[in-house]
Amino acid sequence: MDVMTAVLTRRSEHQLAEPAPSDEEFAYLLRAAATAPDHGRLRPWRWILVRGEGRTALGRCFADDYDGPEPRREQVQTKPQRAPLLATLVFTPRHTAIPEWEQLAATSAMAGSLSLLLHARGFGSVWRTGPFTRSETTRHTLGLHPEERLLGWLYIGTPHHPRTPKRRTPEDITPHITVFTPELLPL
């Protein structure tokens, strides 16, 4: 699949089943995704792969930390079961002259590239965030360090209902483009 096709046909897939990429295949795709723009090649991120019983443990963590209506507790506990692989993205800012916002932008670029690479390989994914990214219980369960930030989970698997990807029609974005002309500068 060429890059333009991947960009125009990728969709968030909410129903995912086995297979998901193996740890080796995930690492292979991540090596390519890690070539995304990253000032200073800091790689200010790390991934925690959650599979099998790890998903069950993460679900228990979510349920323990849930403070909403009791009937929804079981639903919250089963969230990690929606995909065979939950790739947990952790932002690990480096203390350098490179601003943190730039490091976060590099992390986002890498994650976007990974999503496209997964799609091109026939896997589906959906990005999930929410209150558990800020939960101390979840942070502790996943072994995050105090300076790290949990950005979310890329739920990954094979689309449950495979379909021929429908190509999106790019929208007109010209109102979002300005061409700089020095003669417009005030004197």
In our burial notation (b when 16+ CB lie closer than 10 A, e otherwise), range 5-29 reads ebbebbeebeebeeebbeeeebeeb
Rg of the chain (C-alpha set): 19
Tell me the pLDDT tens digit for each residue of 12-67. Answer: 999 999 999 999 999 999 999 999 999 999 999 999 999 999 999 999 999 999 99
Beta-carbon-side half-sphere exposure of residue 125 (alpha carbons within 13 Å): 29
* Spatial CB neighbours of 59, under 8 Å, sequence gap ≥ 6: 76, 77, 78, 79, 80, 81
Q: What is the pTM of this model?
A: 0.92
Tokens for 161, please give them: 């209902």
What's the pLDDT band for 187 if we cut at 50, 70, 90? low
Rounded Cα–Cα distance for residues 93 and 91 (Å): 6
Res 85: pLDDT: 98
Decide yes or no: CATH 3.40.109.10 for domain 3-161.
yes
Amino acid at 81: Q
**Domain ranges across the chain:** 3-161
- Rounded to the nearest integer, the mean pLDDT of the chain is 95
8 A C-beta contact, residue 119 and residue 125: yes
Res 92: pLDDT: 98
Instruction: List 155's β-bridge partners, or say none.
Output: 86, 126
